[in-house]
Amino acid sequence: MRHQNVAWVLVAALMFVCCSGIQQTGADSGKAEGIIYSIGNEPFTRLGLQTSDGTMYVLKCPKEIEQALNQKQGQKIKVYFENKTQSPEGLILQVSKFEENK
């Protein structure tokens, strides 16, 4: 009975990883695909990414990437991140580069 429970937990975890908008490429790095949005109220807005499963991530980027992504709001893009951390405002992805979906 115990082995069945462990198997179901593993299957559920695998399904979550496969179905979420994030693909892992290293320990804390990976890529995520979704729609770029502005989160929060002026003057305290941040960039966010909403994946196809509805998960919202806060993006932390170098200034030049942030400026480019601000122009892409509402568009579907792929971001590559070097680190992800949990904070009170949600899961933060440290973006290193991005690609537009064609």
Per-residue confidence (pLDDT) for residue 15, from 0 to 100: 44
pLDDT given for residue 28 in this prediction? 73
Regions in the chain scoring below 70 on pLDDT: 1-27, 102
Position 14 scores a pLDDT of 41
pTM for the predicted model, two decimal places: 0.70
Report pLDDT for 12. 44
Q: Provide CATH code, domain 2-100.
A: 2.40.50.500
Residue ranges of domains in the chain:
2-100
- Per-residue HEC secondary structure of the chain comes to CHHHHHHHHHHHHHHHHHHCCEEECCCCCEEEEEEEEEECCCCCCEEEEECCCCCEEEEECCHHHHHHHHCCCCCEEEEEEEEEEEECCEEEEEEEEEEECC
